[in-house]
Amino acid sequence: MADIKKVVLAYSGGLDTSVIVKWLQETYHCEVVTFTADLGQGEEVEPARAKAKALGVKEIYIEDLREEFVRDFVFPMFRANAVYEGEYLLGTSIARPLIAKRLIEIANLTGADAISHGATGKGNDQVRFELGAYALKPGVEVIAPWREWDLSSRESLMDYCEKNDIPVDFKNKKSSPYSMDANLLHISYESGMLEDPWHPSDEDMWRWTVSPEAAPDEATYIELDYQKGDIVAINGEPMSPATILTELNRVAGANGIGRLDIVENRYVGMKARGCYETPGGTVMLKAHRAIESITMDREAAHLKDEIMPRYAKLVYNGYWWSEERQMLQALINRSQEYVNGTVKLKLYKGNVDVVGRKSEDSLFDAAMATMEDDAGAYNQQDAAGFIKLNALRMRIEASKGRDLLK
State pLDDT tens for residues 97-109. 999 999 999 999 9
Residue 86 lies in a domain: no
Residue 2 has pLDDT above 90, yes or no: no
Co-location of 213 and 156 in the same domain: no
Strand boundaries in 15-72, DSSP class E: 31-38, 59-64
The reported pTM is 0.94
Alpha helices by DSSP H, 204-338: 241-254, 279-295, 298-317, 323-335
pLDDT band at 347 (very low <50, low <70, confident <90, very high): very high
Q: Please, what is the average pLDDT of the chain?
A: 94
3-state SS assignment for residue 344: strand
pLDDT of residue 85: 98
Geometric angle at alpha carbon 225, from 222 and 226, rounded to 5°: 140
Question: Which strand (E) or helix (H) includes residue 393?
Answer: helix 382-399
Residue 193 lies in a domain: yes
Single out the residue in 110, 135, 163 at which a domain terminates: 163
* Residue type at position 385: G
Single out the residue in 330, 355, 380 at which a domain terminates: 355
Number of structural domains (the chain) is 2
- Average confidence (pLDDT) over 152-165: 87
Helix 279-295 and helix 298-317, axial crossing angle in degrees, nearest 10? 150
Q: Each residue of 348-393: pLDDT tens digit? A: 999 999 999 999 999 998 887 777 776 777 888 899 999 999 999 9
pLDDT of residue 348: 98
Residue 179 has pLDDT above 90, yes or no: no
State the residue range of the domain holding 131. 6-69+94-163
Co-location of 187 and 283 in the same domain: yes
Co-location of 259 and 345 in the same domain: yes
Single out the residue in 163, 191, 210 at which a domain terminates: 163
Q: Which residues are catalytic?
A: 16, 96, 125, 179
CATH value at residue 211: 3.90.1260.10
pLDDT of residue 174: 54
CA 226 from centroid of its chain's CA atoms? 20
- Average confidence (pLDDT) over 223-241: 98
Q: Is the dihedral of CA 12, 14, 18, 24 positive or negative?
A: negative
